[in-house]
Amino acid sequence: MSMSDEVRANPRYKAPTKKKKKKSFAETFIPMRGDSAGEVASKLIALVSAAALVVCAIVLGLYFYHIFEAKQNQKDLSERYKVYNNLTQVGSGSADGLNVPAETDGNGEIIREPLVTLPFAEEMLAINSDYVGYVSIPGVVNEAVVQYSDNEYYLKTNIYGQKRQCGTIFADCRNTVSDYADLQSDNIILYGHNQRDGTMFGQLDYYKWDYKYWLQNPFIYFDNRYEQNTYVIVASFIINTEPEHDNGYVFDYQNYINFGGDHSFETFAKELNERSHFHTGIDINENDKFITLSTCSYEWEPARHVIIGRKLRPGETAENIDTTNFAVNPNPKWPAVYYKYNGGTYVENAG
């Protein structure tokens, strides 16, 4: 018996196994001739899964990049704005009626001095000709405002004209924003997304969570193309947009642009008084000008959070406004859908 035969006869002997050839990437994941139906199916599932994973990674990457980009854009523009405007002085003198005509010629025509574009507006108009203003609540909102021929375009377009989910703060297309003071809309309505990263109107929620937040941040500063204006916040409330969420009724705040007819000042004032989560003690009348900030809210879908400010009158300043009459509204009026899920009811005149 030869040595090799003796080795094979040993019960502990194991014949060497032939090493399998390692499959290439293509052989592992791409269907090949000769593959069984099961192998083809497995490879196709693996390919589809890999492709889906790559697509998800790209989409997620773009999402976070756009968030980063939006914050950088906001930071850049707010820094530029500070170059032209010291935020502690924004709106000073604006309540004294800048650009309001005081004289007429021999034919009764109003004599108007030419409007002068603010320096920051000139810079912004070079970036985007749709620019109409800049809105700020220090520490809460700092955003450029645009206006287009419809109320859809800037929902998903940024200030630089790029398609972005965050969009841009925009004025209602029906508003007259930048003009002589007496020709501007009674109520300028600004729309913006409630961004979770805090940009746009993403920090207005503070006025919902802590009603006394108003005492720290009662003013909205809004520059149009020609003048700086200061508004004192007089109301904050949550509203429905669908009739079925309030027994067939919708307070269409977005249509109170110029008071009159079906959208009278009296109705506007009554709705604000009943719905606001707090009462500021600041009076309003039909001769006042207003600004409305509108964003999404998440108490139900769809809901809106609305904040309304009254323009300072001649002689009023941010320093002499009386804030001592502030009080939380014990019974604000909510749409019916709120009471359905949270209990309670609205009692008229209880607040």
Q: Which of 225, 254, 234, 220 is nearest to 141 (CA)?
A: 220
Residue-by-residue DSSP string for 220-240: EEEEESS-EEEEEEEEEEEEE
CA distance 237 to 188: 17
| Rg, C-alpha atoms of the chain | 31
Domain limits, the chain? 85-342
The identity of residue 129, as a single letter, is S
Q: Which of 216, 165, 219 is nearest to 194 (CA)?
A: 165
Phi, psi of 46 (to 5 degrees): -65, -40
- Are the CB atoms for 220 and 293 separated by under 8 Å? yes
Distances (CA, A) of 213 to 74, 142, 160, 237, 326: 23, 17, 33, 14, 11
CA distance 88 to 86: 5
Full pLDDT tens readout for the chain, 351 residues: 555 555 555 556 555 655 555 666 566 667 777 677 777 677 777 777 777 777 777 666 655 556 667 778 888 888 989 888 764 444 443 444 444 555 776 676 778 889 999 999 999 999 999 999 999 999 899 999 999 999 999 999 999 999 998 999 999 999 999 999 999 999 999 999 999 888 999 999 999 989 889 999 999 999 999 999 999 999 999 999 999 999 999 999 999 999 999 999 999 999 999 999 999 999 999 999 999 999 999 999 999 999 999 999 999 999 999 999 999 999 999 999 999 999 999 988 665
Residue-by-residue DSSP string for 37-94: HHHHHHHHHHHHHHHHHHHHHHHHHHHHHHHHHHHHHHHHHHHHHHHH--TTTTTTTG
Count the neighbouring beta carbons within 10 Å of the beta carbon of residue 117: 14
Q: What is the CATH number of domain 85-342?
A: 2.40.260.10
CA distance 100 to 115: 11
The model's pTM = 0.81
